[in-house]
Amino acid sequence: MQPKIVLSTPPKIAFFLIFSSLISIAQTNSVTPDSPGYTAMTGKERITWFAKSTVGPQSLAAGLFTAALGTAANAPKEYGPHWEGYGKRYGIRLSGVSTSNAMEAGFGAMWGEDPKYYPTTGLSIKGRIGNVMKTTFTAPRPDGHYTPAYARFIAIPGSNFLSNTWRADSEADAQHAGLRTLYGFLGHMGGNAFQEFWPDVQKLIFHKKP
């Protein structure tokens, strides 16, 4: 019988890699949809957004964290609580994220929906939190005004139900897809919050000057 490596060290390594990845993340959006310099997202920018949102440091770090949690809880049970299971969970999460991002970028291109998050400037904490929540469900159009994020409403549920075709049997059903859809929107909100507040956290931790 081949011995298995029970998950004891993967979470520690995952958290270390997450922290290392987060150090390299910096906010680069300086022009916001409500500023005079804003222009509609180009095709090249859309491809860049897809690549960064799928395999950028923030996404990869999130994958390390969620795979560690899933392996610690042995969910789904088909993958097992070991390194091989950790890798499968990481891969299945990445496949879902890439499908969702491709759908959001593709559908959004049809009507000019910009999927990027733009950090606020000069708002109170309450205002910044409000922006994080609002932009989870809205996105700017070419003229800069925000409307419901229709491409996102298609992409997150669509990718989660589609992924039932390649997921483990214990989670390949409508109920689990619905839960993943909910987690997808909550994860998007968390990603917005990260982009909004991480630069401030970096300044506190590393004593960076503005």
- Measured at the CA of 151, the angle between CA 133 and CA 179, to 5 degrees, comes to 65
For 125-172, the pLDDT digits (tens) are 999 999 999 999 999 999 999 999 999 999 999 999 999 999 999 999
The answer, yes or no, to whether residue 5 has pLDDT greater than 60, is: no
DSSP label at residue 147: E
Phi, psi (deg, nearest 5) at residue 82: -145, 180
Contact by Cβ (8 Å): 170, 78: yes
CB atoms within 10 A of CB 136: 20
Q: Which pLDDT value is given to residue 205?
A: 84
CB atoms within 10 A of CB 203: 12
**Which tokens is 49 given?**
């957004």
140's enclosing H/E stretch is: strand 138-140
For 59-71, the pLDDT digits (tens) are 999 999 999 999 9
Share of the chain above pLDDT 70, in %: 83
Contact by Cβ (8 Å): 107, 150: yes
93's enclosing H/E stretch is: helix 83-111
Rounded mean pLDDT of 38-45? 91
Contact by Cβ (8 Å): 143, 53: no
Tell me what the pLDDT averaged over the chain comes to. Answer: 86
Q: How confident is the model at residue 209 (pLDDT cuts 50, 70, 90)?
A: low
Q: Which pLDDT value is given to residue 79?
A: 96
Q: How confident is the model at residue 31 (pLDDT cuts 50, 70, 90)?
A: low
Q: How confident is the model at residue 210 (pLDDT cuts 50, 70, 90)?
A: low
- How many Å apart are CA 3 and CA 88, to the nearest integer? 18
